[in-house]
Structure 1
Amino acid sequence: MPDDVRPASLSEGRFDGRAEFDAILRAALSAAAQHGWKEIVFSDPDFADWPLGERASIEALQAWSASGRRLVLLAQRFDVLERAHARFVPWRRMWDHIIECRATGKAAGAEVPSAIWTPAWFVHRIDPERSRGVSGTDAASRRALREAIDECWRLARPAFPASTLGL
């Protein structure tokens, strides 16, 4: 299935609450693996409340990961992700060659959106504190979200290395 076709299993419209957001993320990871999406962008200030450390999430990411794929992670900081998602960190190390991570830090004007972006579909948590937002395929909304992510990416620096080299 081409990247620009949204699988029917993915939601469209408003969502409200952590349980709904978690279910949407799980469905997105499953769809990515099932349909071989080439690129996925995860964006969040710190990924603290994303279910990335769950066994099912890692299994879906493992099934998705292959040559020619790309996962982009944008955050304000990654320290919470490293501490809170113990299964994700080793998976990230193993697949370093398909993952790009950047952090904005405290860059002025760099409010990192809480979102998932793909060429065909998006999720945007407009109110991350209450896990409220929208998901869908609308091209204008998807483009606006990608522009916001790209602007933060431009201000960000490489972060969350797969390994730390030192003397």
Structure 2
Amino acid sequence: MSEPVETPPNASPVLPEGRLSGRTVFVGLLRQAFAAAASEGWDRILLCDPDFADWPLGEREVIASLNAWASRGRTIHFLARDYRVLRQTHPRLVQWRTTWSHLVEALACASASVDELPSMFWSPAWTLQRLDPVRCTMVASRAAERRVTMQEQWQQWSLKATPAFPASTLGL
């Protein structure tokens, strides 16, 4: 098991590859991935998890990375079973989503069971897939074949999903 690598300020994080495990490692890798997205200018990010409950999406560090990443022509796609837990546990992300709504697409696949929907971070440069959320085992990779496989998996689930997690809710 390798620990996430500390990154000097203004440097692109070195994202590891291979099998990893541990909740602390998972959270650290996600922080590093969002920082890499900002510093490397990834144009597209795909996120998938049943509810994103244990992702660090509401942390100031992650929101700062998302703010640095947010730019014209970039998109971030969320796919979850539902967004109730995310809304309750990550209020900073909910606010960020409102501010940057034109960059965000969010889908929900309520028909998926908690065990079916994958837990993954996909980018054009690096991927992270959590294979076992309970034990927090995961695989990180830069391999093109893994990126293609994960993108296809995300696409298959998105076809079963509907728009969700709106930037604002209109009331009467």
**Under a length normalisation based on structure 1, what TM-score does the superposition of the two structures give?**
0.91
Deviation (angstroms), 1:107: 4.3
- Are 1:142 and 2:151 counterparts? no
Aligned partner of 1:40 in structure 2 is 45
Whether the aligned pair in 1 keeps the contact of 2:44 and 2:75 (CA below 8 Å) is yes
Query: Within 1, Cα distance between the matches of 2:51 and 2:101?
Result: 19
Identify the match of residue 82 of structure 1 among 80, 84, 87: 87
Deviation (angstroms), 1:8: 6.5
Aligned partner of 2:9 in structure 1 is none
| Moved segments of 4+, more than 4 Å | none
Deviation (angstroms), 1:106: 2.0
Deviation (angstroms), 1:166: 2.5
Residue identity (%): 46
Cα RMSD of the aligned pairs, angstroms, is: 1.4
Letter in 2 for 1:148: Q
Return 5+ residue gaps in structure 1 as ranges.
1-6
Between Structure 1 and Structure 2, how many residues are aligned? 160
Whether the aligned pair in 2 keeps the contact of 1:111 and 1:152 (CA below 8 Å) is no
Q: 1:121-152: per-residue Cα shift (whole Å, max 9, x none)?
A: 10000001221110011222221111111011
Q: 1:60-95: per-residue Cα shift (whole Å, max 9, x none)?
A: 101100111100000011110000011111011000
Return 5+ residue gaps in structure 2 as ranges.
1-11
**Under a length normalisation based on structure 2, what TM-score does the superposition of the two structures give?**
0.89
